[in-house]
Amino acid sequence: MKTLIKNLKSSGLSKAQIKTLKSILPLDALLLTPQEKLIYGTDAGGRFAMPWAVVRPQTVDQVQQIMHWAEQERVPVIPRASATNVVSACVPHMGGIVMSCLKMNSILSVDQRDFTAHVQPGVITYELQQAVRAKSLFYPPDPASLRVCTIGGNISTNAGGMHAVKYGVTRDYVLGLEVVLPGGELIRTGGRVHKNVVGYDLTSLLVGAEGTLGVIVGAWLKLLPQPPCSATILVCFAEENQALDAVDKVFTTGMLPAALEFLPAEVLSCLSGYASMPWPESAGAALIIQVDGTEAKVKEEISLVCSKLTDTLHLEIARQKEQEHIWELRRLINPASFRLGPDKCSDDVCVPRSRILNAVQGIRSIADDYSLPVLVFGHVGDGNLHVNFMYDGSIQGMKNQVAGCRREMLRLVLELDGSISGEHGVGLSKRPFLTSQPGSGVLRLMRGIKKVFDPHNILNPEKL
């Protein structure tokens, strides 16, 4: 630990350390100049710290050698992929080297009989989805960032997406992992089999570990048959509580929608003028509901859902490619939100589905107390709400005001038996709240687990 502290105080690597890295990696896999390193100091979470060096290994052997060297030298290593995480999970705030996994980006196999894929961590999620689709297979986890983010990043954050309500999150599709531990040992957890109960479930433990336990260098993923058909229902209501009542009604049909998104009045108003609106101006809230399956099943589920939707202002059903314009509106919420303010404090809380109305109203009331515009929208199907407080950070005192508002909002979520993060994770941004959730007993066990995997605290230190 003493050596680590010494390294943190120093401005970077010694000449001898750089020489060793040069002997492990080819020339273009080691970045040392400030210009080259700059972008590796930040991620979508917005914080910045300059890395001492950036390594871009292409082979498992290189990862092992770097991890062996880093542990001996007590140099922190921060694994990184496309850096789309929004919680500053791969910012090297304690110094150290950033390890980009993007060059390990091959789909090693897609097995149509086993319904499995074996991939390297740097594979882009969308590219895997397309590759398995070509074989009539389906990899469901679909974070909105899927055209950029990677399987390694998704596994390390246990990413979810629109389809989580029916298909679950990344953890539900990880059958096994190949992982390099601090010190350089390569381990394999799980594998190609769909069922496996031999010992502790280390695969699940590594999913969502935010790169603090090991570097993922390979993954076996579970695939499903590709649903042949899908359709989307866009439905608008005059009042917000009618829309949220309708969520319950959809579930009482006994079917699981493939996606179920909630857009309140504030979101509809942000979108108006930003894109052409398919709904009347008087709409107070909207739901976007997707169903999928065989053609007959899709037809049946559409009529089941529509039979439950009453008092609607507008209802539109779009099939196959025609659905795209509706989902495009959903994706536009993020850019459109900046009409309310140049800065955003964004959270992804989750509450039990039965408490969504309490959460939406409670959060709005907290925002009102602080005179902050707020958007509360998202994956109501699984209770996962995006909360965006919009503000202008250049106004003096505003950041403190937003921080206070956010604290109250997270407290409310915990009172509702919710979780302070449904999909984005902890990183640096939610770390101060870990004593409230999961609490001191669980935290003690988590610290013990970290010590077993990483006794010298070199891997993504002081995160999570």
Ligand X SMILES: Cc1cc2nc3c(=O)[nH]c(=O)nc-3n(C[C@H](O)[C@H](O)[C@H](O)COP(=O)(O)OP(=O)(O)OC[C@H]3O[C@@H](n4cnc5c(N)ncnc54)[C@H](O)[C@@H]3O)c2cc1C
Exposed / middle / buried, residue 199 (Cβ in 10 Å: 0-12, 13-18, 19+)? exposed
Of 362 and 425, nearer to ligand X (C-beta) is 425
Measured CA to CA, the distance from residue 419 to residue 350 in angstroms comes to 5
- State the minimum distance, in angstroms, from the CB of residue 172 to ligand X: 13
Measured CA to CA, the distance from residue 312 to residue 15 in angstroms comes to 69
Of 269 and 334, nearer to ligand X (C-beta) is 334
State the number of binding residues for ligand X (CB under 6 A): 36
Closest CB to ligand X belongs to which residue?
Answer: 153
Residue entry with tokens 């989805």:
129
Taking a C-beta distance cutoff of 8 angstroms, is the pair 90, 79 a contact? yes
Of 89 and 329, nearer to ligand X (C-beta) is 89
- State the minimum distance, in angstroms, from the CB of residue 162 to ligand X: 7
Determine if the peptide bond prior to 438 is cis (ω within 30°): yes
Q: According to CB under 6 A, which one of 71, 178, 210, 347 is a site residue for ligand X? A: 210
DSSP output for 377-406 = EEEGGGTEEEEEEEE-TTSTTHHHHHHHHH
- State the minimum distance, in angstroms, from the CB of residue 253 to ligand X: 26
Of residues 257-316, those binding ligand X (CB under 6 A): none
- State the minimum distance, in angstroms, from the CB of residue 44 to ligand X: 4
- State the minimum distance, in angstroms, from the CB of residue 412 to ligand X: 22
Measured CA to CA, the distance from residue 449 to residue 445 in angstroms comes to 6
The dihedrals phi and psi of 79, each to the nearest 5 degrees, come to -65, 145
Distance of CA 336 to the CA centre of its chain: 21
Of residues 72-101, those binding ligand X (CB under 6 A): 78-86, 89-90, 101
Of residues 112-171, those binding ligand X (CB under 6 A): 121, 143-145, 149-150, 152-154, 156-157, 159-161
Of 85 and 189, nearer to ligand X (C-beta) is 85
Distance of CA 167 to the CA centre of its chain: 15
CA distances from 441 to 200, 435, 437, 445 (A): 20, 9, 10, 7
Radius of gyration of the chain (CA): 23
- State the minimum distance, in angstroms, from the CB of residue 416 to ligand X: 21
Exposed / middle / buried, residue 114 (Cβ in 10 Å: 0-12, 13-18, 19+)? middle
Of 63 and 366, nearer to ligand X (C-beta) is 63
Q: 117: which residues sit within 8 A by CB, 6+ positions away?
A: 107, 109, 110, 111, 128, 131, 132, 139, 220, 221, 223
Of 161 and 341, nearer to ligand X (C-beta) is 161
Structure tokens at 115: 């319904």
Of 44 and 55, nearer to ligand X (C-beta) is 44
- State the minimum distance, in angstroms, from the CB of residue 404 to ligand X: 25
The one segment of 46-54, 208-216, 267-275, 369-377 that binds ligand X by CB under 6 A? 208-216
- State the minimum distance, in angstroms, from the CB of residue 368 to ligand X: 27
In the shown chain, the binding pattern of residues 26 to 65 toward ligand X, with x for contact by CB under 6 A and - for none, equals -----------------xx---------------------
Instruction: Give the interface with ligand X as residue ranges (CB under 6 A).
Output: 43-44, 78-86, 89-90, 101, 121, 143-145, 149-150, 152-154, 156-157, 159-161, 210-211, 215-216, 334, 423-424, 460
